[in-house]
Amino acid sequence: MRAVVQRVTQASCTVDDQITGAIDNGFLVLLGIEDADTKEDLDWLAQKIANMRVFGDENDLMNKSLTDIDGNILLISQFTLFAATKKGNRPGFTRAARPDKAIPLYEEMIKQLSTLINKEVQCGIFGADMKISLLNDGPVTIIMDTKDKENH
């Protein structure tokens, strides 16, 4: 799994001119799921996202987590995070999980993050043509890959 986590002061997702999810302070999380991903990957990544300390404390140091600031999450599925760009100019997406595998993991990520931050996670619509609007705060953008969990 790959996640691009952006600290935002606001973010929203629109599908067919309808807002499907919107947040103020918190994280916009773009989530890519590949065939090799497991429940263990999901558990690790959910914990990392929920507990990441990148929000300012009283000294403006990045020491606070989402729960510390009562922050929110907008979770967007994004298979293009697994684009293969080594050959040619047209990316390939063969590493991205097919919907029958990706949707259950995406839905489980929504549940886990909701439990971890103790509030409803806002979402896009899996597989839809989504328009994402955000105001990146900082900017702070963190890229995480569950393949890295073995190395740290």
For the annotated catalytic residues, the residue numbers are 80
Distances (CA, A) of 27 to 14, 41, 83, 91, 110: 17, 19, 23, 27, 13
- Sign, Cα dihedral of 63, 66, 70, 72: positive
Sign of CA dihedral 44, 39, 85, 6: negative
How far apart CA 149 and CA 152 sit, in angstroms, is: 6
Strand partners, 7: 27
